[in-house]
A = this chain, B = another copy of it.
Amino acid sequence: MSENLKEALVPIKKEIDELEIMLFELIGSEVSFVRTVADYILKNGGKRLRPILTVICAKMAGCVDKSVYKMAACIEYIHTASLLHDDVIDNAMLRRGQPSTNAKWGNHISVLVGDFFYSRASQLMIDQKNLKILDVVAKSTTATTEGEIFEIMKSSDVTTTQEDYLKIIKNKTAHLFATACQIGGIMSGVSDYFEKSFQEYGLNLGMAFQLADDVLDYTSSEDVFGKTKGVDLREGKLTLPLIRSMGRANEEEVQILKNAIIAESLDQETFTQVKDLIIRYDGFKDTQELARDYIVRAKESLSPFRASLEKDILLSLADYVVHRER
């Protein structure tokens, strides 16, 4: 966890510790191997950003009880499930700096343990007997899946527009951030107006998060980022830094970019060449700027709420998302 994030979260350390315990407690399975894999994945960490958002929003709007942690855990399980299914998809060998589940146990287990995380989350939400939560979350998982499928369809498609890209990241990433915050509001029984504000905050934060992620995929140090660098390009994913640069590069340079996108393998030299072109044509700068725009909107979404410790944390989190190194 980055020092900044850790610092920002100090005021709710007690809640975060409780969440961490609940994450391990609630996953329970009768099959011991499922337990082993689930523990491995959960221990592997991650920033827990999404469930923490649920907890903070709930706390900001009232109080945090056992059922809030449960719903927060559901959000993390759903996120974990989609990571597990992504690892199969991306054939990723590193996840959070550790061998990914599919590198360790194969595609079989990644898909099935992902399914297990999904159904565990469903069961916990059903036990909560709140149809609204079920509805909001189901819409979110549908959006994530549709976003990821649309992304694959657009893979290696050099005509991908900024609009396509924004639609993809809204569905595959931002929607779940929005849901995480919204659930916090629902659990505290806020009115529709405040619920909508939480949702807006999460959506904008999620957009900024993914934009920043897509820059980090090119620019980060692997040790810090915990993922293999250049994965997007290697998979023919056209993210905003590349889309922006494609529109500005000259014919010869566009050809270099196109070749890199469709090539079976990517050597260090080509990667550096592409990265340099993105820098030359402000691809990273523009993307970071857009991320900051979303952060401004995220912060504005919180304006209906009076000042509080929790509001301060949400504001700091917004800054963290665009300044993080991983």
Q: Are A85 and B112 in contact (CB under 8 A)?
A: yes
Q: Return A154 CB to nearest CB of chain B, in Å.
A: 10
- Asked if A270 CB lies within 8 Å of chain B CBs, one says no
- Asked if A25 CB lies within 8 Å of chain B CBs, one says no
Copies of the protein in its oligomer: 2
Contacts of A139 in B (CB 8 A): 123
A63-71, A130-138, A177-185, A310-318 - the one binding chain B = A130-138
Given A134-B126, A152-B108, answer yes or no on A116-B31 (Cβ-Cβ < 8 Å): no
Q: Are A138 and B116 in contact (CB under 8 A)?
A: no
- Asked if A306 CB lies within 8 Å of chain B CBs, one says no
- Asked if A21 CB lies within 8 Å of chain B CBs, one says no
Of the four ranges (under 10, 10 to 19, 20 to 34, 35 or more), the interface on chain A belongs to 35 or more
User: Which of B89, B112, B120, B138 lies in contact with A122, CB distance below 8 A?
Assistant: B138
Contacts of A120 in B (CB 8 A): 142
Given A123-B138, A134-B126, A135-B126, answer yes or no on A116-B33 (Cβ-Cβ < 8 Å): no
Q: Return A157 CB to nearest CB of chain B, in Å.
A: 12
Q: Are B33 and A113 in contact (CB under 8 A)?
A: no
Q: Are A149 and B113 in contact (CB under 8 A)?
A: yes
User: Which of B31, B108, B146, B149 lies in contact with A150, CB distance below 8 A?
Assistant: B31
Given A115-B145, A116-B145, answer yes or no on A107-B107 (Cβ-Cβ < 8 Å): yes
27 contacts between A and B (CB under 8 A): A29-B146, A30-B146, A31-B146, A31-B150, A33-B149, A34-B146, A34-B149, A88-B111, A89-B107, A89-B111, A109-B152, A111-B111, A115-B141, A115-B145, A116-B146, A118-B118, A118-B141, A119-B142, A119-B145, A122-B122, A122-B134, A123-B135, A123-B139, A126-B134, A126-B135, A131-B131, A134-B134
